[in-house]
Structure 1
């Protein structure tokens, strides 16, 4: 008889009240998801890397204008070759890339293009030639 009094003194929530509480929490969670939204993934850096790789691949595959194995190996052969080809290289990279992109191409003998800004997404690619590495960075204008 003592056991009966103990169970009668305890209060229990009905199962339907517990289910209703869980349902309210679930509905509020879904509503907050719609209200706040989910930020889209930042795929700008990946796209910029692809642009940089494409430009580097095109430049690495082009024949030289004056001598060497490729256009890039000609440009990085010497300081004199770089200075001679600087303006043409800048124009060529500008033609390869879309109009909404800016770039900087660095060789062992100098760089062409624009200064890289701080705090923006930048894509990059490198090509190794027999005379040194060439790196290109691209970003949205």
Structure 2
């Protein structure tokens, strides 16, 4: 029988020290490089806000006639002129305070001027009088 050469063994404190160093390096790397952004992307959240506002408006009863509030403001220029202020107040109450909005109908718009340099969310609702578009963005 052959005699095996003696084998070396790593001491347990050396293994513990190596694991500890790897742990410290991993934690330091996590702080240095950060983590990927979690949650819903900003544009998707803005689309959700716009869609929610459009859905609420599309399902609300009209003030004077037609089938819904959006159908009423899209029906004619006179109806839009009559309801524009009420529509703007309603959208302002629906959306959170940190959002600005613009609602465009075939007969006019309410809300704020839409910026071209910031992310926006958008939703459209077809009505009998034409398409109504809701844009939202962070203030």
TM-score per shorter chain, which class? 0.7 to 0.9
Gaps of 5+ in 1: 1-26
> What is the match of residue 107 of structure 1?
105
Equivalents in 2 of 1:50, 1:75: separation in Å? 22
Secondary structure of residue in 1 paired with 2:113: coil
TM-score, length-normalised on structure 2?
0.75
**1:139 Cα shift?**
0.6
| Structure of larger gyration radius | 1
Over aligned residues, Cα RMSD in angstroms? 2.0
TM-score, length-normalised on structure 1?
0.74
The match for 1:71 among 46, 65, 69 is 69
Secondary structure of residue in 2 paired with 1:50: helix
> Is 1:139 matched up with 2:137?
yes
Gaps of 5+ in 2: 1-21
Q: Provide runs of 4+ in structure 1 moved above 6 Å.
A: none
- How many pairs align? 116
> What is the match of residue 48 of structure 1?
46
Secondary structure of residue in 1 paired with 2:75: coil
